[in-house]
Amino acid sequence: MSFRNAARLARRELRGGLKGFRIFLACLALGVGAIAAVQSVADGIRRSIAEDGQAILGGDVELNRLYQPATAEEQAQFEAAGRVSEVVETRGMARNPQDEATTLVELKAVDGAYPLYGRMELEGGGDLQAALTLQDGAWGAVADPEVAARLGLSAGGRIAVGDAVLQLRGTIAREPDKAGSGFAIGPRLMIARGALDASGLIQPGSMLTYNYRLALPRGSDAHGVAEGFKDQFQDANWRVRDDRDAAPSLRRTIDQLTMYLTLVGLTALLVGGAGVGNAVRAWLDARLATIATLKCLGAPGRLIFETYLLQVLVLSGLGIAIGLLIGAAAPSAVAAVPVRRFCRIS
């Protein structure tokens, strides 16, 4: 009976609206919203990594090693497992041969099988392999827009990498395995594997990473194949990954960022708790006359407590619901942010 009376009184009192409760709601909604947004965005990214594992990794299985390409024997074993694509990555200086302007680039040399999964897109369309091929004695290159901007190049302009002078034939609109490449300190410059040989950058001690991506026959157990290679090449310094963990560095970054931002959100919620406490106290102070009247009319302390606890709980639920809505909307809002444009500006 007491609880029914409390619920009835609380419902009637809540007709008074949210007056005095706006700060309470704002603190709660923002705190919960921040945590929910961080978690839902992180969860969305993790899910995307899992769903697009093949494209992000560039294959079902990837083996990579610093300094040393695969031996003929290793290459044969890779090819026995599935289709193979060789990608060599390094950092280097790209130059404008006309004015000697330079910029650091993330250089990526790909073979004719690249990409095994996903779709490489150039701005304005066009085929990657056609853009990279040797034409009229010059290898082709495609690059992130920043490269052309920093070197003052226009389409078809010349770009020098090591000893090779390449023709810039396109701008990268989408690189399917970029998320799996880890931390980048420069824009992407993509060239053909043959162009890398021509650049003279392959020298003993050069920091080149040789990646071998394998597209396994349909139905293969990528994880099992990866584990098999790990056992087989225990002493060969190969780092082996499969599409279940396509972007470990990105995953680690997301995990750390999520933890950090969740802690920030929790701290904000705790700090907001002081605001919530003050708001509840002020709200109760404003209702002292009503509480006194109810006591005069014969309301026991428990009924008064339940009546006001219910109201605080209802309004807390409202604040939490608003926060969760903010959190649910966050992935869509983040996805709508023009990241490329932002990156270009920065």
Partner 1 sequence: MDGTTPAPQAGFEAGKAASIRLIDVHLELASAAGPVNILRGIDLSVAAGEVVSIVGPSGSGKSSLMMLIGGLERPTQGRVEVAGRELSTASEDALALFRRDHVGIVFQNFHLIPTMTALENVAIPLEFAGAADAFDRAAERLRAVGLGHRLSHYPGQLSGGEQQRTALARAFAADPDVILADEPTGNLDGETGRQVIELMFELSRRRGATLLLITHDPALAARCDRIVRLVDGRITDVGLAHSAALARLK
Contact predicate 50/180, CB 8 Å: no
Q: Alpha-carbon distance 176 to 55, whole Å?
A: 6
Residue 8 engages partner 1 in binding (rule: CB under 8 A)? yes
Q: Alpha-carbon distance 111 to 215, whole Å?
A: 14
Residue 288 engages partner 1 in binding (rule: CB under 8 A)? no
Among 80, 288, 289, 345, binds partner 1 (CB under 8 A): 289
**Cα 127–129–132 angle (5° rounding)?**
110
Residue 13 engages partner 1 in binding (rule: CB under 8 A)? yes
Residue 19 engages partner 1 in binding (rule: CB under 8 A)? no
Among 303, 310, 315, 330, binds partner 1 (CB under 8 A): 303
Residue 310 engages partner 1 in binding (rule: CB under 8 A)? no
Residue 227 engages partner 1 in binding (rule: CB under 8 A)? no
Q: How far is the CB of 296 from partner 1 (least distance, A)?
A: 5
- If phi over 0 gives left and psi between -120 and 50 gives alpha, with beta otherwise, what is residue 129? alpha
Residue range at the interface with partner 1 (CB under 8 A); choices 8-16, 27-35, 202-210, 246-254: 8-16
Q: How far is the CB of 313 from partner 1 (least distance, A)?
A: 18
The b-or-e profile of 122-154 (16+ CB within 10 A means b, else e) is beeeeebeebbbeeeebbbbbbbebbbebbebe
Residue range at the interface with partner 1 (CB under 8 A); choices 144-152, 189-197, 285-293, 335-343: 285-293
User: Per DSSP, what are the bridge partners of residue 135?
Assistant: 138
Among 124, 125, 204, 301, binds partner 1 (CB under 8 A): 301
**Greatest pairwise CA separation for the chain in angstroms:** 99
Residue 340 engages partner 1 in binding (rule: CB under 8 A)? no
Q: Alpha-carbon distance 61 to 47, whole Å?
A: 19
Q: Alpha-carbon distance 10 to 308, whole Å?
A: 7
* DSSP, residue by residue, 203-242: -TT---EEEEEEEPPTT--HHHHHHHHHHHTTTTT-EEEE
Residue 18 engages partner 1 in binding (rule: CB under 8 A)? no
Q: Which is nearer to partner 1, 14 or 165 (CB)?
A: 14
Q: Which is nearer to partner 1, 17 or 338 (CB)?
A: 17
Q: Which is nearer to partner 1, 42 or 299 (CB)?
A: 299
Q: How far is the CB of 279 from partner 1 (least distance, A)?
A: 19
Q: Alpha-carbon distance 107 to 290, whole Å?
A: 73
Residue 299 engages partner 1 in binding (rule: CB under 8 A)? yes
Binding site for partner 1 (CB under 8 A): 1, 5, 8, 12-16, 289-290, 292-303
